[in-house]
Amino acid sequence: MKIKKYLASLIAVLMMGMAATACNKAEKEPETLSDNSDNIVHDAPETSPEIAGISDADIPEEEEFEPAYTAEEGQAYLAIAGSQWDVQYWGSAKQSGYMLAYDAGIADIKGDGSYTVSVNANTKGFRNAMTGNPNETYTPEGIDFMAVMIPNGESLYPNAVITIDSILVDGNEIELTAKNYTSTEDGTDTRATVYNTWVNNPPKDARTSDGALYDEDGDALSVCKEYSAQIFEEENFATWTKVEVNFTITGTNNSSTPVMTDSDNENADEDEESA
């Protein structure tokens, strides 16, 4: 009888030990996750500026400059040079003096009529060219040369006369103290001199709305004294940003008003008949 009780107790102890071992094993082995489980660990996301410690403001954006213009033959532009010749424009967006090519006002000469040319130092392109930073201000000072120029104008409009009507500096019209003349320096480009400190008297080939300034012997006519290579006072350009020149051109042998062709006349006749 005692033997049976001892065997029963021994069996119960062994079964409890096996149960405890099974429980410990279940706690140590993780549950297998299916492929559809939301607990699957995904790859780490790519590093963002916030994680890297870089703010959005520190990421430079690509700068977009204003269009830079080159004057083609038959177009007019404003040639200009500051008193130190650090700021210039000679009608090209690629050669020396390109810094004022950004947002430059170019005029298509279609014939006799009124036009405007201009330069603008208040542009990202200009500031970047002068300082290396499109947001850093650079203000031109003084004036040493200025003229309205037409590339190859002497071939296209050999008798053209350019008369300066008004000049605006930063939106303010300045006083003109003399009349301008039209001539050429190289025999190719037409030039209406507005300000040139290197010239004291108009050249012999000067053309004006009053006609020639010199007689056949090369002597100055009385009207010559009204014309000058400096038609305003330099103090108007102590500092400047935008310069606009309004002018009238005559003698191109063409009117700025479109000329009606035969086909246009035919269409006009048809319109009158249908009316």
Q: Amino acid identity of 233?
A: E
pLDDT at 250: 97
Query: CB burial class (10 A; 0-12, 13-18, 19+) of residue 31?
Result: exposed
H or E element, residue 146: strand 145-150
Asked if pLDDT for residue 137 goes beyond 70, the answer is yes
Q: Give me the pLDDT at residue 271, please.
A: 46
Return the closest-CA partner of residue 196 out of 244, 234, 230: 230
Considering Cα of 81, then 82, then 86, then 88, what sign does the dihedral take?
A: negative
The predicted structure's pLDDT at residue 253: 86
| Phi/psi of residue 107, nearest 5 degrees | -110, 130
- Does the structure show a pLDDT above 70 at 215? yes
What pLDDT sits at residue 136?
96
- Which H helix or E strand runs over 22? helix 2-28
Residue ranges covered by each domain of the chain:
75-250
- Is the pLDDT assigned to residue 52 strictly greater than 70? no
Q: What is the pTM of this model?
A: 0.70
Mean pLDDT score, 185-203: 95
Contacts of 16 by beta carbon, 8 Å cutoff, 6+ apart:
none
Please compute the mean of the pLDDT values over residues 219-234 and round it to a whole number. 97
